[in-house]
Copies of this chain bind each other. A is one copy, B any other.
Amino acid sequence: MPESPGLPLVLTMGDACGIGPEILAKVFLGARPEARGAFVLGDLAVMRRAAALCGEGLLPVAQIEGPADALCCPPGCVPVLPAAGLPPDLADAPMGKVDARAGAAAAACIRQAADMALAGKVAAIVTAPIHKEALAAAGVAFPGHTEMLQAWSGGAPVRMMLANDELRTVLVTIHVSLRRAIDLVTFDAVLDTLRIAHRAAAAFSLATPRIAVAGLNPHAGEGGLFGDEESRIIAPAIAAARADGIDALGPLAPDTVFMRARHTAAHPGEFDLVVAMTHDHALIPIKYLGIADGVNVTLGLPFVRTSPDHGTAFDIAGRGTADPASLLAAMRMARKTSVNR
C-alpha cells in the first residue's frame, strides 16, 4: 500500500457545462494513485451525468458527508460532497453553452473549498475550469479563480504561476486587456511578484531560485528605443529585490528568456523560473509543446491551489473525449507542494 495521503484533496467541479465534470470523473477511473484521498465538491446530478460519459462501464458516484470521508472511499467510484446552495436544476443546463446557473454554482464551489482549506480540512484545492462569461452572467464580480481565492482568503497579493516539466513562469498581470496590463506593470507589482515567487519556490525545493525577469517591450525596450517601462519600472524593482537577497536577473528580452529558461535533460535551463509581465508572454511558451502537462498554481495564498492549464473547452463538452492529463498533473503538483509547504 502507498503511504497515507494525509488530508483529503478537494476538487472543485468547475463550470457544469464545460469539460470539468467529465475530466474529474475520469480521474477516478481505474484506481489511479492521484485519486486517493481526493473528492469532488459539486453537484451530484452533474457528476452523474459526467460519469455516464466516461464510457468504460459503470463509474458510480458516491455521495459523501464531509471531506474526511474521501480518505476511506473505495477506489473506482467518484466521491462527491454536495456543495451548499447550488441551483436545483443545474444538471439541466445545456452542455457547451454559457449559463448563469453554471457560473453561480462554480463560484459557490470555489468559495466553499476555500473555506475548507482555510479551516485546515483539506490539504489543497484543485480547481476544474470555469467560464468567465458564465461567471459574469451570474453576477460574480471576479474574472477568474485567482482573483476569487485572493479576495476570499484575506486579500494578500497573489500571483499566478504556470508550470510544466520544462518551464515555470510567474505573472505580474493576468486577466485584463493588454492595454490595462501595461498600466498595471508598476514598481510595486513587479517587486511583489518577485517576493512571492521567491518565497513560493521553497515549495518546489528550490532554496535560492534563479529568477529571470522578462521585459514588457520588444527586446526589453532596446535601450529605450521601444519603450521605457524596463528602465523606469522593471529594472528598479529588480534592484530592490536583489537588495532583499532575491536572485533576480533582468529585464531580459521576452522573445529569448523562455528559451533560455527551458529545462530538459539535453538543455539545462539557465533559470528556475521566469517572471513575465503579461498573460500571453508567459502562456504562449508554457502551452507551445502541448497543454497536457501544464499546471496553474496560485502563489501567495494561505493554502495550496492548483488547476489544469486549459479552459472549459465548450466545443467538446459532453462528448466524452476530454483528456484529464492536465488535471492529473495539477493533482500531483498539489500533493507535492502541500507536503513541502
Contacts and interface: CB of A to CB of B under 8 A. Distances in A.
Interface of A: 132-133, 136, 143, 174-182, 216-219, 221-223, 225-229, 254-256, 258-259, 262, 267, 278-281, 283-291, 311
B218 A176 contact: yes
A285 to B, nearest CB: 5
A156 to B, nearest CB: 23
Contact of A290 (B177, B259, B291): B259
Contacts of A291: 256, 259
A42 to B, nearest CB: 23
A182 B175 contact: no
Q: Is the interface of A mostly helix, strand, loop or mixed?
A: helix
Nearest to A289: B259
B218 A254 contact: no
Contacts of A285: 284-285, 288
Contacts of A223: 132-133
A217 B177 contact: yes
A271 B256 CA distance: 24
A212 to B, nearest CB: 13
30 contacts: A132-B223, A133-B222, A133-B225, A136-B225, A143-B225, A143-B226, A174-B218, A175-B222, A175-B226, A176-B226, A177-B221, A178-B178, A178-B217, A179-B182, A181-B218, A218-B278, A254-B283, A255-B279, A255-B280, A255-B284, A256-B291, A258-B288, A259-B288, A259-B289, A259-B290, A259-B291, A262-B289, A267-B290, A280-B281, A288-B288
A300 B135 CA distance: 44
B218 A175 contact: yes
Contacts of A286: 255
Contact of A255 (B133, B219, B283): B283
A177 B9 CA distance: 44
Contacts of A179: 179, 182, 227
A62 B176 CA distance: 57
**In the complex, the 10 A-B pairs of residues with the closest C-beta atoms, listed nearest first:** A177-B227, A255-B283, A218-B279, A254-B280, A285-B288, A284-B284, A259-B287, A177-B217, A177-B226, A133-B223
A262 B288 CA distance: 8
